[in-house]
Structure 1
């Protein structure tokens, strides 16, 4: 039996069992589709995705989807094969190119498609795959992702996807790797009347399909990581506003909210979103996707940075910090994650460390130092310290997104900013994102870029004319935080960075010391800092917590991750 026939037979058996009312245990996620961003195969490396065209119908009552996913490839080297991924719980009904049926093999979630002839380097080929089935249901979106089938309070279908760790192949055909972004994408979603289908890009049209369905046709005109493509289906109302970007462009704002929450969503735009985007544009540069939209959609899960249509599920509750932190965090990812994308999973802290640091930075911008310090201290208390946040070799998304990439990443940036000053810190950040410092006049479209940790360190070193590799080596590449040994007598104070905590790495970190209310920064000489004291002097080490280090107010390794 051919492989294609085998999988059709398996799908038919499974469907028969379901229709017969048998108890069928849900399939676990296969590793080939359950972990996004894994190294590309030799076949996958021979082609570059230029365009995705996804036409999908969603059946809320059956928790089922059916569609055709078309991919246009450009061949990077001669090949007779292309590779796509799709969760093996879906059945494939046809694979074609120019209306010709193609042969393929399917190894769990990996489809190796035979084009029928060898295509030379530089040529293009389009492959269409028709498929259907019941997608993997998210266990705890967005952390344990998949498709969410929920209901509103009034019992209407409310559906969303969140697949950052697992990848796009949980519900559509894709390459499933952030390193190969399509140049653009068309997404047509058919849903029952009364529901709206919201996704990335710009809505082109809404048209009836038969007597009781309608199709929403969207076009995303900019490259996006395929895990960022999202389905959002519900009884939404579309709130439309706009703002003038720092580069002079009028950028559309869209918030798709449940009908009962339109007033709250409108207030969120006016009270929080406008101020937040002004902050990002002031310190970073223009919102990256001004030609499409600045979009949010209300979701039954907490949130996710889906490019141009960020998921928002915090129920419009304001925070102790005086603003909506989730709205700000997901908006931050339009820069840190979507404009600048990590080159490998090993560099995921560039997404989440910077994304998290934007909240205290915004608190400082909006409310002052007390709010900033409160936010940073709260982050410090949540550190785990059990795993380095930059690992070597091939890693999984679970390893990449360990909890400390948020807090440790944020604290690394906090100390770096203190060391090099605001001006150079924000310049280094702008160059990481845009490749240039003067970003205010950048016109759309703005090109996204891939970055890694080494490149960011190089930017910092070039701008400061100093080598700060030692800082990143200690903060990012080991689990243990640096410890400061303090030896105080009646007439002297000696400070030494503990060599064991540094794993014998160099760490010439200066230390602020306050003596009788007078603050001064002391620099390491010959491995220690020596300060003369007088009897009765009151000493406080680093009273404003500028230096990221271990303090006994947290665990050395908090294992309840």
Structure 2
């Protein structure tokens, strides 16, 4: 999801979004539905979703959906019941299994379905839900998500979904938890003629139906988090090309642009996307979903990392970075978020900190030190430091996606890269993603994996042969930045670290110091660094800002937190 670059909306835009939301969403979102990734219930934990089959008709002029969703479950523990979630504003017209009606109870958005008999572990069952109604309208997508019903400049319907914080249950019955990715999903979208319906995976067929409608049949054959499933409808042109991956495979590229923007989209592919993919594959490894597609679709909202069909709404405007930062950020999430998925919301910085940091890293790769330092300095000025990056306990999406998981997460990686060196940093990153370092020979399909912060720390410790727990405890698990206390006399400088959670020599962070233009790195001994100087020497501590620490150019804690 987009972070620090465009967090703040204007007051007028926010007020407008709220007013639109109030007028089109008479029912408030049930908190159970409006927050994805909550702890699984005793019923939900007994099942594993293996496949979804969603047939959905979108009726643009009525802002209405009519759907039939089939879910295949593998039973993990003895149970008579299965559980799905669906926004309570939808009417359920039937729930069946093998065409036989099932009894069910509905508590707001939670549907408890009685299978009629106890199911044994290892058995498989399928449940179909027929439903219809008007979906929740996003107030400010992608940050405050839901359905986006918009129009092109010529007045044609232009529709999208973005539900990272809220989850899949805003528009189809699902388990709604990133920790249970279905192995595959079929998505059949029916729309009026003249519109295209774009989703995840590979387009199988386009079928002409009666009543001036057509159906787009998509098949996603790799696991994906259910919040990544997306619907995009509009007067699109399908641009198809390809590239050769680092592993030798030919990977399809698809960009679905509004018809009038076809040339702009083609230029974006040739002038930006190809170079960005080359960078990612060089530093990380093969694009994860090369057996499906590398996909983007133009949307009426800013953007979102929908696996194989990333939303792009930046209007093809090149920014001061010298490349399209939105395209790059969403592409980064194909690795950080989609290939490697956080084990729980507490570890969301693994998505967003890495996703953010790949942008200045790309600036360094493409333009050099000045561009990299510019990006990092801007991010430093935006740090909040009011809550830990990695929070403890059960948390909500709103708590997880605070702005510091982007900028402070990225700055943690910046300092780690300097501390452990280029080779170790990028090897640790590749192992986090793929489980191996030598990634160039990996073939499709590439298996996704769940990761947590402690696993990344373990990888770093193993590769360095050192214990860096102190590093991650200070930067990720306390809110306050470490402070470097400086005492200077005409002939000596004494440096010592002050942190909220670690004292004295428990935070052995080295620091570069430049004296009269000559720079050296100094390591604490017994919690202090003593440097002999001559009277009149010009001293600059950490002139390249390699070490994340508090400087008086930012607040120690800024509570003006924007919703991400």
User: Taking structure 2 as the reference length, what is the TM-score of the superposition?
Assistant: 0.95
Q: What is residue 307 of structure 1 aligned with on the other side?
A: 307
Partners of 1:410 and 1:93 in 2: how far apart?
Answer: 47
Please tell me whether the aligned partners of residues 483 and 501 of structure 1 are also in contact (alpha carbons under 8 angstroms): no
Please tell me whether the aligned partners of residues 482 and 502 of structure 1 are also in contact (alpha carbons under 8 angstroms): no
Aligned: 1:136 with 2:114: no
Q: What is residue 290 of structure 2 aligned with on the other side?
A: 290
Structure-to-structure mapping, 1:104-503, within 5 angstroms: 104-500=104-500, 502=502
Q: What is residue 9 of structure 2 aligned with on the other side?
A: none
User: How far apart are residue 211 of structure 1 and its match?
Assistant: 3.6
Unmatched runs of 5 consecutive residues or more in structure 2: 1-22
Partners of 1:525 and 1:503 in 2: how far apart?
Answer: 13
Please tell me whether the aligned partners of residues 58 and 191 of structure 1 are also in contact (alpha carbons under 8 angstroms): yes
Determine helix, strand or coil for the equivalent of 2:494: strand
Determine helix, strand or coil for the equivalent of 1:256: strand
Partners of 2:519 and 2:82 in 1: how far apart?
Answer: 63
Give per-residue Cα distances to partners, 1:249-296, cap 9 Å, x unaligned: 000000000011000000000000000000000010000000100000
Please tell me whether the aligned partners of residues 200 and 220 of structure 1 are also in contact (alpha carbons under 8 angstroms): yes
Partners of 1:98 and 1:119 in 2: how far apart?
Answer: 15
| Distance change >3 Å, CA 250–CA 543, structure 1 → 2 | same
For these two proteins, the number of residue pairs brought into alignment is: 539
Q: What is residue 512 of structure 2 aligned with on the other side?
A: 512
Give per-residue Cα distances to partners, 1:298-355, cap 9 Å, x unaligned: 0000000000000000000101110000000000000000000000000000000000
| Distance change >3 Å, CA 531–CA 277, structure 1 → 2 | same
| Distance change >3 Å, CA 94–CA 556, structure 1 → 2 | same
Q: What is residue 538 of structure 1 aligned with on the other side?
A: 538
Q: What is residue 13 of structure 1 aligned with on the other side?
A: none
Partners of 1:550 and 1:533 in 2: how far apart?
Answer: 24
Aligned: 1:61 with 2:61: yes
User: How far apart are residue 77 of structure 1 and its match?
Assistant: 1.1
| Distance change >3 Å, CA 110–CA 276, structure 1 → 2 | same
Partners of 2:400 and 2:503 in 1: how far apart?
Answer: 22
Q: Greater CA deviation, 489-498 or 25-34? A: 25-34
Q: What is residue 521 of structure 1 aligned with on the other side?
A: 521
Q: What is residue 560 of structure 1 aligned with on the other side?
A: 560
Give per-residue Cα distances to partners, 1:371-429, cap 9 Å, x unaligned: 11111111111111111110111000111111100000000000000011000100000
Partners of 1:500 and 1:431 in 2: how far apart?
Answer: 31
Partners of 1:54 and 1:499 in 2: how far apart?
Answer: 52
User: How far apart are residue 194 of structure 1 and its match?
Assistant: 0.5
Give per-residue Cα distances to partners, 1:170-225, cap 9 Å, x unaligned: 00010000000000000000000000000000000001110410000000000000
Give per-residue Cα distances to partners, 1:51-97, cap 9 Å, x unaligned: 00000000001100001010000001111100000000000000000
Partners of 2:244 and 2:103 in 1: how far apart?
Answer: 51
Partners of 1:503 and 1:173 in 2: how far apart?
Answer: 51
Give per-residue Cα distances to partners, 1:230-259, cap 9 Å, x unaligned: 000000000001000001100000000001
Partners of 1:25 and 1:43 in 2: how far apart?
Answer: 30
Please tell me whether the aligned partners of residues 55 and 187 of structure 2 are also in contact (alpha carbons under 8 angstroms): yes
Determine helix, strand or coil for the equivalent of 1:131: strand
Please tell me whether the aligned partners of residues 480 and 501 of structure 1 are also in contact (alpha carbons under 8 angstroms): no
Structure 1 moving runs of 4+ over 2 Å: 499-506
User: How far apart are residue 499 of structure 1 and its match?
Assistant: 4.3
Determine helix, strand or coil for the equivalent of 1:27: coil
Determine helix, strand or coil for the equivalent of 1:276: helix
Partners of 1:25 and 1:240 in 2: how far apart?
Answer: 37
Determine helix, strand or coil for the equivalent of 1:442: coil
User: How far apart are residue 24 of structure 1 and its match?
Assistant: 9.0
Determine helix, strand or coil for the equivalent of 1:33: coil
Please tell me whether the aligned partners of residues 505 and 524 of structure 2 are also in contact (alpha carbons under 8 angstroms): no
User: How far apart are residue 118 of structure 1 and its match?
Assistant: 1.1
Q: What is residue 8 of structure 1 aligned with on the other side?
A: none
Partners of 1:47 and 1:401 in 2: how far apart?
Answer: 28
User: How far apart are residue 501 of structure 1 and its match?
Assistant: 7.5
Unmatched runs of 5 consecutive residues or more in structure 1: 1-22
Please tell me whether the aligned partners of residues 514 and 542 of structure 1 are also in contact (alpha carbons under 8 angstroms): yes
User: How far apart are residue 502 of structure 1 and its match?
Assistant: 5.0
Partners of 1:164 and 1:309 in 2: how far apart?
Answer: 14
Partners of 1:500 and 1:264 in 2: how far apart?
Answer: 50
Q: What is residue 14 of structure 1 aligned with on the other side?
A: none
Please tell me whether the aligned partners of residues 506 and 527 of structure 2 are also in contact (alpha carbons under 8 angstroms): no
Partners of 1:91 and 1:490 in 2: how far apart?
Answer: 78
Partners of 1:301 and 1:185 in 2: how far apart?
Answer: 25
Give per-residue Cα distances to partners, 1:446-487, cap 9 Å, x unaligned: 000000000000000000000011110000011110011111
User: How far apart are residue 506 of structure 1 and its match?
Assistant: 2.4
Q: What is residue 102 of structure 1 aligned with on the other side?
A: 102
Aligned: 1:80 with 2:80: yes
